[in-house]
Amino acid sequence: MSENGVVLRLEDLHVYYGGIHALKGINFEVPAGKIIALIGANGAGKSTTLRSIAGLVRPRRGKIQFLGRDITGLPAHDIVKNGIAMVPEGRRIFPNLTVMENLALGHYIRMDAEGIRRDLEWVYTIFPRLKERSWQRGGTLSGGEQQMLAVARALMSNPKLLMMDEPSLGLAPLLVKEIFNVISEINRRGTTILLIEQNAKAALEVAQHGYVLETGKVTLDGEGKALLNDEKVRKAYLGEE
Amino acid sequence: MGRVKPGPSSDKGYNMTLVTFFQQLLNGVSLGSLYSLLAIGYTLVYGILGLINFAHSDVFMLGTYFTFFVIGIFVLPWWLSVVIAMGLCALVGMTIERVAYRPLRSAPRISALITAVGVSFFIQNLGLVTVGARPKGFPRPELMENVYSLFGIRIQGVVVWVPIISGVILLFLLYIIYRTKTGMAMRAVAKDMEATRLMGVNVDRIILYTFALGSAIAAAGGAMWAARYPQINPLMGIFPGWKAFTAAVVGGIGNVVGAMIGGMIIGIAEIMIPAAFPGLTGYRDAFVFAILIGFLLIKPSGILGEAQKEKV
């Protein structure tokens, strides 16, 4: 990896929605091979941060560097080609397409048939249910299966950085546990992960490092476990007194 | 508008025999397949952009003129002229998207709709200025002039060949949409544009392909329409356009197979109802729109359309 093993670096990122100043100068780094969690309340700018990295939102000021390259303002499809995949909030699988086709869109940009085959096999070993249902339409899957499909689909682009927006949202507790196991599993295989979560506790337990966002700014950062024990974090995000 | 009488039964008002019934039915299938070809373009664009592309019927008109001029100027065979016209119309369709619709992609839908009406007027009037309002006689290809005889039913070439050629085009279209990577991306864009972007798909390019595909098919429809009704003028697209749009709505707008079915229903109804009730021949266009109103009242989502949930 480039420059001291940092995969992604945001420098003074400002994003506006019309007149609303959504991100007010975000700075952070994602080191290679790690799981990084972004936590914060609703409207703190977590999703906007991911969306601007993915190229869905154009930042007004600041810089996004990926593997030493400046990717600020590139269109979303070029960012995927650079090696960033995103699991969007609310899964956003294609309900009218089969599971197979959903995965095929995941590797839309790839040409290496051999690598695609290998990754498909790997994805099917993590999510055996998807293999059983490969001919079903995405819309017929249960919520948990759809979330698995959304993750699998993102993995099929063979990303260097996988971003996940609220992967546990709306899932039953047992599935939440499963999805966090999967996140660790994907990370062990060498993919760097940037995670947004409402479920701050679960996120900080798997993450090596966490950033706390408040109204468009990073206000706190530290090791996952350390943040988990931080009094301010416990009060604000873990609902403890 | 040049229009051929639907058949002998509408002349005198005698009862339909079995032979005329089948003649009329085939005639309706032939007309219906043309509506299907035209309806595809409406449904493809609506499926992806939620936009009623009013200019589509004028691309259809341009298809007939391109075919007309390519035949006249380069003295090429009919089929090759149609292929060239399809290519030219694909370019026109892409240009319309790029110039008129793309800048309004994030604007309110009504702005794009009004723009579509504007583009339509623009093309019609451009046609009036450049080629004039006087209808031109379209040279009927020999293939369409032949008369065939099947079990004692005499049928014109145009009635036989139009559905066959249309069928081949529609199969080819289904192949593109359901069996190719680009087609898969089209279906994905239609469902969720942003999620498709996240897959690394260049959505703008897919939208251009969609316009190219719909326009090329409209051109083929136009060329065959002119073989059926061999008088062409710059406003000739309007009525077939409305009816094809009706067909797309009846079939379930946004659904490609629905557009094909809708086209057939409209075409067959337009021929068969006046054939069965010769006294009502003057109302043939009214029947088509009565079907539309009926569907809008009873099943507004159309035959194959799903009740649309508002995308959030």
Instruction: Tell whether A67 is covered by a domain.
Output: yes
Instruction: Tell whether A37 is covered by a domain.
Output: yes
Instruction: Tell whether A40 is covered by a domain.
Output: yes
Averaged pLDDT score across all residues of chain A: 92
Topology of domain B15-298 in CATH is ABC transporter involved in vitamin B12 uptake, BtuC (1.10.3470)
**ipTM of the shown complex:** 0.93
Instruction: Tell whether A3 is covered by a domain.
Output: yes
Model confidence, pTM: 0.91
CB A206 within 8 A of CB A194: no
Q: Decide if B201 and A55 are in contact by the 8 Å CB cutoff.
A: no
pLDDT tens string B135-155: 999 988 888 888 988 877 888
Residue of B192, B199, B256 to mutate when probing chain A, most A C-beta within 10 A:
B199
Residue type, B188: A
Q: Which two tokens stand for residue B50?
A: 């939620």
Task: Quote the CA–CA distance of B157 and B129 in Å, as a whole number.
Answer: 34
Helix (H, G, I), strand (E, B) or coil at B141: coil
Q: Decide if B199 and A101 are in contact by the 8 Å CB cutoff.
A: no
Q: CA Rg, chain A, in Å?
A: 17
Residue A100 sits at the chain B interface (C-beta within 8 Å): no
Which residues in B lie closer than 8 A to residue A157 (C-beta atoms)?
199-200
The counts of H helices and E strands in chain B are 13, 4
Instruction: Tell whether A144 is covered by a domain.
Output: no
Instruction: Tell whether A182 is covered by a domain.
Output: no
The answer to whether residue A221 scores a pLDDT higher than 60 is yes
Helix (H, G, I), strand (E, B) or coil at B309: coil
Domain ranges within chain B, ordered by starting residue: 15-298
Helix (H, G, I), strand (E, B) or coil at B247: helix
pLDDT tens string B13-65: 455 688 888 889 999 999 999 999 999 999 999 999 999 999 999 999 999 99
Q: Decide if A77 and B203 are in contact by the 8 Å CB cutoff.
A: yes
Task: Give the structural domain span for A211.
Answer: 1-73+195-241
Instruction: Tell whether A116 is covered by a domain.
Output: no
Domain count, chain A: 1
Instruction: Tell whether A240 is covered by a domain.
Output: yes
CATH number at residue A218: 3.40.50.300
Task: Quote the CA–CA distance of A111 and A78 in Å, as a whole number.
Answer: 15
pLDDT tens string B250-289: 999 999 999 999 999 999 999 999 988 888 888 889 999 9
